[in-house]
Chain A
């Protein structure tokens, strides 16, 4: 069995009187892609926000690589090797690919006046990285993110997570609003991330996309995990959909 990277134990989260997470237990191992599924309001987003440090949890424990940690901010999560790629808030459209890749961790040229950036080196590394993740077109690293397609943006965000050696990459609806070819591109990047030793948590409404790429499916309903180790190889889409909606209970 591969090493357990993240162990979320009995996580509770309440917004006032609303219990958004009810004693959630979830483990993520090294090198696996976990699909997190659930209907609207099932608690997927809250769970991801807790793990990425964006919202504090009410009670429970998060253990990362065997060490209990307290997630107080997204920075804590990043420091613990957890990178979250949100749909709308991953990149700055006005900045170049290279400047986005290094945002917050800019390479500096010393001795520099007022923290001068090493723009040449940032461009060089970015160009290298773009080649490595296999963006097919020849896009210079100086291109502003705003002029890239949706799939290319996701690729840049994934490339960034890989470059900074994040153990776990959380992808929140990465295939939304993408065309068929672009979706395949993003799924390929996700597989590549896994093959290079990263784990991924993949959240998507489109269950077909999830089935194409994940190793394990976790289903949430009403703030709790109702299925933890479904395999896309042994379960059918219909079965998973029934669990998501609760139909299997009615049956």
Chain B
């Protein structure tokens, strides 16, 4: 939680008190880990901090990051969504199929794909809230339905997207720009994509919603004590349905951004992303059981996992060993968060 109104301990105004409050924040652990990673990777291979590498890493970061932002809100409300990876694959397939067959213009196809994702999220939400089925089972089922639909629509073949470059929509979503460099190749500068701008804007918006708005208060209450929230008139079912819809829409947006960037809409893309996204969120300090979530922590979690993937390759560790590091980070972070949680609950 980054909101000072919920985290400052009693008498937290003095300097040591402020320091203690900072250490007790769920974002403290991931922040230290991120700084540590930057130091270690850079000291082994200075190219890690080069502008080219930062640009590359940030490009890959935002696509999973967009999903992680929505997943943070959903997990704070006490649910999670395993179908995001398959929505990530399905939405671009739908958009490009509609466009390539000449059925409609690309912006309209984009809206149809977002609409389809919202429908998927709505169905997820209804199954969870109306039928009382755990989100694990509902979204596992939806994962298979959506992935199956994407494969069936395409016969398993990727959809071509190379005509995307001329479209204003693809420029708005993933158009590249150069900071401080020269020429087509952005020599000596930092090459960034519009997707990063969207990620930053949405991260700020989601942080604001979670910490400053009424709806954010309801999200935390829904995950923290659903009975209390309901007794105070919070429509916890509606909160969850909205968040499932946001989660699916963000997965669709991320998938379409990715398809434009890699110039292919593969019906298999996004496989396994759901677990990586959940890992990013919990590493950042959001609690799996709900009630407490942090967008700042999630942004740190996203950076940690993506920079780890990038960094271990750059320092010469075999890429296949990536999962060992990720697993170790998850276990370490969970141990840290649980220790902090115990201290927090003990009122120290």
Chain A residue nearest in CB terms to B234: A104
A78–chain B nearest beta-carbon distance, Å: 7
Residues of B290-348 contacting chain A, CB below 8 A:
291-292, 344-345, 347
The answer on a CB contact under 8 Å between B224 and A139 is no
The answer on a CB contact under 8 Å between B231 and A140 is no
Q: Map CB proximity to B onto A143-162 as digits: 1 under 8 Å, 0 otherwise.
A: 11011000000000000000
The answer on a CB contact under 8 Å between A86 and B217 is no
CA of A115 to CA of B71, assembled, Å: 22
The answer on a CB contact under 8 Å between B232 and A103 is yes
Chain B interface residue count, Cβ-Cβ cutoff 8 angstroms: 37
Residues of B1-30 contacting chain A, CB below 8 A:
1, 3-12
In the complex, whether B165 has a CB less than 8 A from a CB of chain A is: no
The answer on a CB contact under 8 Å between B215 and A92 is no
CA of A92 to CA of B7, assembled, Å: 14
Decide if the interface of chain B is mainly helix, strand, loop or mixed.
helix
A160–chain B nearest beta-carbon distance, Å: 9
Residues of A within 8 A of B234 (CB): 103-104
Stretch of A2-10, A24-32, A94-102, A226-234 at the chain-chain interface: A94-102
B341–chain A nearest beta-carbon distance, Å: 9
In the complex, whether A91 has a CB less than 8 A from a CB of chain B is: yes
The answer on a CB contact under 8 Å between A106 and B217 is yes
Chain A interface residue count, Cβ-Cβ cutoff 8 angstroms: 38
The answer on a CB contact under 8 Å between B228 and A90 is yes
CA of A52 to CA of B99, assembled, Å: 55
CA of A90 to CA of B344, assembled, Å: 21
CA of A92 to CA of B220, assembled, Å: 8
CA of A115 to CA of B215, assembled, Å: 8
Chain B residue nearest in CB terms to A160: B232
CA of A117 to CA of B214, assembled, Å: 6
In the complex, whether B187 has a CB less than 8 A from a CB of chain A is: no
Chain A residue nearest in CB terms to B216: A117
Given A106-B217, A119-B212, residue A92 in contact with residue B224 (CB < 8 A): yes
Q: Return 17 A-B CB contacts under 8 Å, by A number.
A: A86-B227, A92-B221, A93-B224, A94-B1, A95-B217, A99-B6, A103-B228, A104-B229, A104-B234, A106-B217, A114-B209, A116-B212, A117-B212, A117-B217, A119-B212, A143-B8, A147-B347
Q: Give chain B's interface residues, CB within 8 Å of chain A.
A: 1, 3-12, 208-209, 212-215, 217-218, 220-221, 223-225, 227-234, 291-292, 344-345, 347
Q: Give chain A's interface residues, CB within 8 Å of chain B.
A: 74-75, 78, 84, 86, 88-96, 98-100, 103-106, 108, 112-117, 119, 123, 138-140, 142-144, 146-147
Given contact pairs A78-B233, A144-B6, a sample of 18 additional A-B residue pairs in the complex whose CB atoms are under 8 Å apart? A74-B230, A84-B231, A88-B227, A89-B225, A89-B228, A92-B221, A94-B6, A96-B6, A99-B5, A99-B6, A103-B232, A103-B234, A105-B232, A114-B208, A119-B3, A140-B10, A146-B345, A147-B347
